[in-house]
Structure 1
Amino acid sequence: MSETSGFLERPDGERLAWRRIDGAGPTVVWLGGFRSDMTGTKAQALADWAAGAGRGYVRFDYLGHGQSSGAFERGTITRWRDDALAVLESLAEGPLVLVGSSMGGWIACLAAMAAPERIAGLVLVAPAPDFTEKLMAPGIPPQGRAALAAEGVWLRPSEYGDPYPISRTLLEDGARWSILPGPVPITAPVRILQGAEDPDVPWRHALELAQGLNSRDVVFSLIKDGDHRLSRPQDIGRLIAAVEEL
């Protein structure tokens, strides 16, 4: 199956880059993480799987990510959730399996809550619900808090590249979409893959999500030597197996 690509126009003139493989459903939709894009290892591995298996697959970049337009600093959970819902409505047909990585796990949950009738299942990789409030905010150093108060933006150091801007608006908006400790009104089957050595999302945080879901069909897989990215060949194998199961 060949992959097509394009841009989805948003009401404010911004453009979301997307790629799609037409095939049998349920359509698998990739929801990437904070500052990641749709060309990453896991997203590409799923594209290769979908093309080989004849499955429908959609991936995209949020506002300010990857090939999409807009400044990253303008992004909020509200905006990125809305981006995801626009993609689901415009580009993904029929029942859906949402695959969310890190922040994308939070966005996947919010999208599933907004369109429950379309959700066949969720596969969440190191899901980071409420990360702005529960994982990021507590670690902001005094100089970061001073920058947020004075300028509204803090350049946060990153182990994955250049420092990236964290806005006061992002932190404040994130609290609006808190879903923990639950109950989280998702009843579709859920598979969670979590590394025990993840420095960004503690495994107990992901387990709290698993315990808070209303669904009775939840499998939480703790990968003892796994990191945050879970992009090794054996991790990719687990991801594809979880998607195939749903």
Structure 2
Amino acid sequence: MAAAATGLPDYYGLFGVEREVDQDAIKKVYRKLVLQWHPDKHPQNREAAEEKIREINDAYETLSNPFKRSQYDNMLVALERKAKGFRLDTTMIKPRMSIPKEFMLSPLGYPDKFVRVVGMSLFVQSRGDAKAEFYDFFKEAKFSLWWLPEVNNMCRIRPQATAGVGQDGGLNFNFALSRQVSVSEVILSPGQMAESAHFIAVASDVFKGAFRFECYAYPGHYLAFLPPTHLRVVGGTVEEKTAIDFMFPS
């Protein structure tokens, strides 16, 4: 199954190589592609060439790094298994023990995209979407959980920069669902005991190490990435390109 069929960027297809190819071959193909698509060689279509170079660089950044490549390969396998109906046994996974104290959120199937704070709103962006430098991009993409004792695995999600600010723990992800509204934008709001800020952390049955966040007051509604950049809470049937499983890349 091709990566494109899973929703992932097809890095191996872009490089024209098999998954088993070694690092030296990856480097050789990368150099060839960079020379081929250098914008100076495409004066009539410079913008398209620059976009192609960005795609090539994104692919190389993943395939040339053993850890990132391993994560990418594992994600490919997980999404292929999902397409075949395979599910993981999650009964022994404990979210409180498994989720890092500080983390980034990357939707499964979109390894170049991360949840980011933009003012009081939240978006899912790649560096190309945000057009930000490395440090500026990732400083707005760090979060933590405030675990609540009332219900097992209940939590609030908050930007790490606001954690511990005020008695209610700073700003929290919040949404506005009702019996009539099954999809809601996710925004930041000051900490409060409103149930609209409460999620239940649930281990993904698709990818080991990934989790999904179900709304405590609205079972069957999950934090979700709706391409191209929207972070929403959604309920009911989830479309194929919508991701409700999130990874915690380091």
Bigger proportion of residues as helix: 1
Task: Give the TM-score normalised by structure 2.
Answer: 0.23
